[in-house]
C-alpha cells in the first residue's frame, strides 16, 4: 500500500534563535502574557492542554553556564536565582519543588512523591532516587473494591483519605540535599516562604483547574476555604493568593529538616486529615510516616544510537518502557525515514504497543515481586521482538513477550487507571551536574485533601484496583508497604559518559510516549528541545493511536487508520521540559501546553 505523507506534516527547518542569556530572560519576560495567555480552559481529568503548541511560536533558549526549565515561571525564576548565586542543581531542585507546591498545587508538592535522576559531575555518577509514595501497612489489596469485589469508580477511590500514600517528596529533597547540596538547607526555602507569605497571582491555568474541579475540590472544607472565595466562588486568574499554612510548614521543614514531617506535628496532622475524611477515610498511620524511606535504585539504561538513555527503574515503568520502545526501534533507520513518513509513525506506534504489552504484564514494584528488568531490555529479546515490526501495516495482534525471568511467576495484565497531572523539571548547573525530576500528587489536586497548606496525594490509585484476573495475579496489585507502579520517566541520555539530554514529562501513562517521541525527535531527527516539544504528539499505549487534536498531525489520522491502527484525536497535555547539553552550550525547551519557561545564563 502506498504511504502518502501529508505535505506539511511537521516543520523540518530548525527555528533556532541564538540570543544571550540576558536577552533570553528579557525576551521571555517581555513576551506579552506568557504566563497567562497560553492556558485558557483546562479540564481536570486529564489535566488538559489548551491548544498552544504552535510550532516555532517560542524562541529557542541557549545559554553557556547553567539552565533551568520547569512548568511555572515563578518556580523557574526561584531556581534560576539559586543557580545564579552559586547554588548547584540539587539546591535549585529543593527551591523549585517547594515553589511548585505553592504555585502549581494541582500537580506536585510535599504531600506527594517524586523520582530524581541526578548526574554528579565530580564523581561522574548517575544516581536515581525513588521518593515514591508508599502504601500504608493497613491497606488491604482490596482497598479499591466494593463489597462485591468489583473495582470502585475511579473518583470514589481518589477523593478522600483512602487513596493517600505516605508522601515521599520531603524525604527525597532531604536525602538529595544531604548527599549533594551546597547551599544551606534552610536558605533554600526562603523563596517559597516569601511567596507564600506575600502571595502570588493565581495563574490562568490554576484558575481554570480550580473551576473545572469545583465539586471535588470543595468537599474538604480546608481546600474549599483556600481555593474559593468567601462566597464559594472559585478563585479567578490574577487573585493574590497567600498561604500562611504553607509558610508555617516550610518554616518547620527549613528549621527542623523532615523530623516533624515524618515523626512530629506535621505527621500527626497528615494522619488525622486522612483518617478523619469521614466520607472516604484512609488508613495511613503515624508508623507509616515514621517508616518512610527514600530508596536509591540502579538507573535503568538502554543503548540507543550513540546514546545511553537512562531513567528510573521499578517501581516506575518509565525507563523500562521508554527503553523497550527505543530498543525495538533501534534496527530501523528513523533518521532516514524522518518525521514526515507515516512509516516512522507505524514503527513508533507498534513499538509502543509491544512495550506497553510487556509493561502491563511484568512491571511493578520490584521489592515485592521479581520484575525481569534485565530480560525486558535484553538485546536479543528486543531484537527478536523488533522483527515483528518489519511488515508494512499495523500489527494485528500484540501480546506480551516472554523475557528471561529470574524467577518463575505467572502474571496477568494490569488494570491501573492513570490520569495525568504531575510536573517535570530539568536543571543543569555551572558545575556540570544535572537534575531530571518528575514529581506528582497523581490526579489534579491529588486526593483533594489539604493540610498544612499543601495537597495530599492520591497515588494509591496508581495500583491496579483488581488483584487478579481469572485467578491469575496482577503484578501491580496493592500490598501493604508496596509502591504503586508509575509511568514517570525522568530521563538523562548520556553520550560518551556525560549527560547530553535531560528530559521528562507529566501525562500519566502517556508520559512514556511523550518522552520516547521527544528523544527520537532530538536524536534521530535533529530537532532542538523546543522543536521536539512543539511537535504534535502521537501516542500509542496498546489501545488507540492517540493523535493530538488541533495540530498538523490530524492529517495522519486517515493514513494510520488505513494501516490498521485504531485512531483517536484528543488533547494530549504533556509538560516536557528538556535541556540539551552540546559542545556549544546548553539548549532548552519548555512545553507550550503548560505555563513553563526556560531560563539560562
Ligand atoms: N501518577 C502517575 C505516575 O506516577 C503520574 C501522573 C501524571 O503524570 O499525571 O505515573
* 24, 422, 440, 491: the active-site residue: 422
Contacts 24+ apart (CB under 8 A), 257-266: 257/174, 257/185, 258/170, 258/171, 258/174, 261/110, 261/167, 261/170, 261/289, 262/170, 262/171, 262/289, 262/290, 262/292, 263/289, 263/290, 266/452
For residue 460, name the pLDDT band (cuts at 50, 70, 90). very high
Residue nearest to atom 4 of ligand 1 (CA): 486
**For residues 187 and 94, is the Cβ–Cβ distance under 8 A?**
no
In a domain, 119, yes or no: yes
Q: Domain containing 563: what range?
A: 37-167+415-600
Mean pLDDT along residues 337-350: 97
The distance in angstroms from the start CA to the end CA of the chain is 51
**CA of 420, closest atom in ligand 1:** 9
Residue nearest to atom 1 of ligand 1 (CA): 442
pLDDT of residue 3: 37
CA distance 427 to 450: 29
442 CB near ligand 1 (under 6 Å): yes
310 CB near ligand 1 (under 6 Å): no
The full DSSP string for 523-592 is HTS---HHHHHHSPPEEESSS-EEEETTSGGGGGHHHHHHTT--EEEE------EEEEEETTEEEEEE-T
From the centroid of its chain, how far is CA 188?
23
pLDDT of residue 469: 84
**For residues 555 and 9, is the Cβ–Cβ distance under 8 A?**
yes
Nearest to 232 by CA among 253, 252, 210: 210
Residue to mutate (ligand 1; options 157, 420, 424, 446; most atoms within 8 A of CB) = 420
pLDDT of residue 421: 75
Residue-averaged pLDDT of the chain: 89
pLDDT in tens, 515-561: 999 999 999 999 999 999 999 999 999 889 999 999 999 999 999 99
Sign, CA dihedral 29-117-593-501, equals: positive
Q: What is the grid cell recorded at 66?
A: 547553567
**Cα–ligand 1 centroid distance for 418 (angstroms):** 6
Residue 496 CB partners (closer than 8 Å, separation 6+): none
**Cα–ligand 1 centroid distance for 31 (angstroms):** 31
506 CB near ligand 1 (under 6 Å): yes
462 CB near ligand 1 (under 6 Å): yes
In a domain, 24, yes or no: no
Distances (CA, A) of 18 to 14, 15, 502, 600, 601: 12, 10, 20, 12, 13
The full DSSP string for 195-212 is HHHH-EEPPHHHHHHHHH
pLDDT for residue 21 is more than 80 = no
- R_g of the chain computed on alpha carbons: 22
For residue 7, name the pLDDT band (cuts at 50, 70, 90). very low
Across the strands, what pairs with 494? 308, 499
Nearest to 462 by CA among 423, 421, 490: 421
**Cα–ligand 1 centroid distance for 574 (angstroms):** 11
Residue in this structure with the C-alpha cell 494522619, named with its chain if needed:
271
**Cα–ligand 1 centroid distance for 438 (angstroms):** 9
For residue 112, name the pLDDT band (cuts at 50, 70, 90). very high
Residue 30 CB partners (closer than 8 Å, separation 6+): none
418 CB near ligand 1 (under 6 Å): yes
487 CB near ligand 1 (under 6 Å): yes
For residue 59, name the pLDDT band (cuts at 50, 70, 90). confident
Residue nearest to atom 6 of ligand 1 (CA): 508
Sign, CA dihedral 110-113-119-122, equals: positive
444 CB near ligand 1 (under 6 Å): no
508 CB near ligand 1 (under 6 Å): yes
In a domain, 8, yes or no: no
**Cα–ligand 1 centroid distance for 156 (angstroms):** 18
Mean pLDDT along residues 76-93: 98
For residue 158, name the pLDDT band (cuts at 50, 70, 90). very high
**For residues 420 and 209, is the Cβ–Cβ distance under 8 A?**
no
Please report, rounded to a whole number, the percentage of residues in the chain having pLDDT higher than 90. Answer: 85
Please work out, in degrees rounded to the nearest 5, the angle formed at the alpha carbon of residue 285 by the alpha carbons of 477 and 454.
Answer: 90
In a domain, 52, yes or no: yes
In a domain, 524, yes or no: yes
**Cα–ligand 1 centroid distance for 421 (angstroms):** 7
CA distance 78 to 68: 10
212 CB near ligand 1 (under 6 Å): no
CA distance 411 to 263: 37
pLDDT in tens, 196-220: 999 999 999 999 999 999 999 999 9
Please report, rounded to a whole number, the percentage of residues in the chain having pLDDT higher than 70. Answer: 88
CA distance 466 to 150: 8
Q: What is the grid cell recorded at 469?
A: 484476573
Mean pLDDT along residues 411-439: 82
pLDDT in tens, 236-295: 999 999 999 999 999 999 999 999 999 999 999 999 999 999 999 999 999 999 999 999
Q: What is the grid cell recorded at 378?
A: 535484553
pLDDT in tens, 484-522: 999 999 999 999 999 999 999 999 999 999 999 999 999
440 CB near ligand 1 (under 6 Å): yes
For residue 583, name the pLDDT band (cuts at 50, 70, 90). very high
CA distance 349 to 545: 7
Query: In CATH, what number is assigned to the domain containing residue 119?
Result: 3.60.20.40
Q: What's the pTM value of the predicted model, to 2 decimals?
A: 0.91
User: In the chain, how many domains are there?
Assistant: 1
pLDDT in tens, 39-56: 112 222 334 443 344 555
Sign, CA dihedral 531-508-315-468, equals: negative
pLDDT for residue 181 is more than 80 = yes
pLDDT of residue 472: 87
pLDDT in tens, 404-418: 874 444 565 555 554
Q: How many helices (H) and strands (E) does the chain have?
A: 21, 23
In a domain, 333, yes or no: no
3-state helix, strand, coil in the chain (%, to 5): 35, 20, 45
Active site (annotated) includes residue 197: no
In a domain, 146, yes or no: yes
pLDDT of residue 414: 57
**Cα–ligand 1 centroid distance for 489 (angstroms):** 10
* 3-state secondary structure labels for all residues of 226-295: HHECCCCCECCCCCEECCHHHHHHHHHHHHHCCHHHHHCHHHHHHHHHHHCCCCCCCCCCHHHHHHCCCE
In a domain, 562, yes or no: yes
Residue nearest to atom 5 of ligand 1 (CA): 508
Amino acid at each position: 500500500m502506498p504511504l502518502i505523507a501529508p505535505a506539511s506534516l511537521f516543520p523540518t527547518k530548525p527555528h533556532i534563535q541564538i540570543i544571550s542569556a540576558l536577552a533570553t530572560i528579557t525576551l521571555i519576560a517581555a513576551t506579552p502574557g506568557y504566563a497567562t495567555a497560553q492556558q485558557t480552559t483546562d479540564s481536570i481529568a486529564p489535566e488538559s492542554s489548551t491548544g498552544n503548541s504552535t510550532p516555532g511560536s517560542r524562541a529557542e533558549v541557549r545559554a553557556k553556564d547553567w539552565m533551568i526549565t520547569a512548568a511555572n515561571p515563578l518556580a523557574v525564576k526561584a531556581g534560576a536565582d539559586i543557580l545564579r548565586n552559586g547554588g548547584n542543581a540539587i539546591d535549585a531542585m529543593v527551591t523549585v519543588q517547594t515553589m511548585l507546591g505553592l504555585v502549581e498545587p494541582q500537580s506536585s508538592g510535599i504531600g506527594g512523591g517524586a523520582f530524581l535522576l541526578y548526574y554528579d559531575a565530580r564523581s561522574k555518577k548517575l544516581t536515581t532516587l525513588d521518593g515514591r509514595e508508599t502504601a500504608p501497612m493497613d491497606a488491604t489489596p482490596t482497598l479499591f473494591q466494593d463489597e462485591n469485589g468489583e473495582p470502585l469508580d475511579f473518583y470514589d477511590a481518589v477523593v478522600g483519605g483512602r487513596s493517600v500514600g505516605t508522601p515521599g517528596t520531603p524525604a527525597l529533597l532531604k536525602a538529595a540535599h544531604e548527599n549533594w547540596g551546597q547551599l544551606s538547607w534552610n536558605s533554600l526555602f526562603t523563596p517559597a516562604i516569601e511567596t507564600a507569605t506575600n502571595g502570588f497571582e493565581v495563574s490562568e491555568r490554576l484558575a481554570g483547574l480550580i473551576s473545572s474541579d469545583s465539586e471535588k475540590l470543595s468537599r474538604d472544607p480546608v481546600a474549599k476555604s483556600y481555593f474559593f472565595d468567601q462566597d464559594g466562588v472559585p478563585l479567578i486568574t490574577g487573585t493574590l493568593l497567600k498561604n500562611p499554612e504553607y509558610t508555617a510548614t516550610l518554616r518547620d521543614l527549613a528549621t527542623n529538616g523532615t523530623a516533624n514531617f515524618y515523626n512530629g506535628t506535621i505527621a500527626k496532622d497528615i494522619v488525622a486529615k486522612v483518617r478523619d475524611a469521614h466520607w472516604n477515610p484512609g488508613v495511613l498511620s503515624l508508623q507509616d510516616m515514621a517508616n518512610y524511606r527514600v530508596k536509591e535504585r540502579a538507573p535503568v539504561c538502554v543503548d540507543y544510537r550513540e546514546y545511553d538513555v537512562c531513567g528510573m527503574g521499578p517501581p516506575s515503568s518509565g525507563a523500562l518502557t521508554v527503553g523497550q520502545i527505543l530498543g525495538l526501534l533501534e534496527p530501523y533507520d528513523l533518521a532516514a525515514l524522518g518525521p514526515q513518513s507515516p512509516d516512522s509513525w507505524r514503527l513508533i506506534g507498534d513499538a509502543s504497543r509491544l512495550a506497553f504489552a510487556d509493561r502491563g504484564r511484568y512491571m511493578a514494584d520490584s521489592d515485592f515481586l521479581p520484575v525481569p528488568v534485565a530480560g525486558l531490555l535484553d538485546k536479543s529479546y528486543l531484537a527478536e521482538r523488533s522483527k515483528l515490526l518489519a511488515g508494512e501495516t499495523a500489527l494485528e495482534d500484540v501480546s506480551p513477550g516472554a523475557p528471561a525471568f529470574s524467577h518463575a511467576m505467572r502474571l496477568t495484565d494490569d488494570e491501573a487507571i492513570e490520569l495525568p497531572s504531575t510536573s517535570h523539571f530539568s536543571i543543569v548547573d555551572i558545575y556540570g551536574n544535572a537534575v531530571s525530576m518528575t514529581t506528582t500528587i497523581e490526579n489534579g489536586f491529588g486526593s483533594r485533601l489539604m493540610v498544612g497548606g499543601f495537597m495530599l496525594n492520591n497515588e494509591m490509585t496508581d495500583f491496579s484496583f483488581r488483584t487478579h484476573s481469572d485467578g491469575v495475579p496482577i503484578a501491580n496489585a496493592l500490598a501493604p508497604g508496596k509502591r504503586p507502579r508509575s509511568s514517570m520517566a525522568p530521563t538523562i541520555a548520556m553520550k560518551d559518559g556525560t549527560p547530553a539530554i535531560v528530559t521528562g514529562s507529566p501525562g500519566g501513562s502517556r508520559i512514556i510516549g511523550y518522552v520516547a517521541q521527544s528523544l527520537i525527535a532530538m536524536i534521530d531527527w535533529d530537532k532542538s528541545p523546543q522543536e521536539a516539544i512543539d511537535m504534535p504528539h502521537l501516542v500509542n499505549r496498546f489501545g488507540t493511536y492517540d493523535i493530538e487534536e488541533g495540530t498538523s498531525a490530524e492529517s495522519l489520522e486517515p493514513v494510520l487508520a488505513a494501516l490498521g491502527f485504531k485512531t483517536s484525536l484528543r488533547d494530549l497535555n504533556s509538560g516536557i521540559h528538556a535541556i540539551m547539553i552540546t559542545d556549544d552550550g546548553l539548549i532548552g525547551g519548555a512545553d507550550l501546553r503548560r505555563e513553563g519557561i526556560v531560563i539560562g545564563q
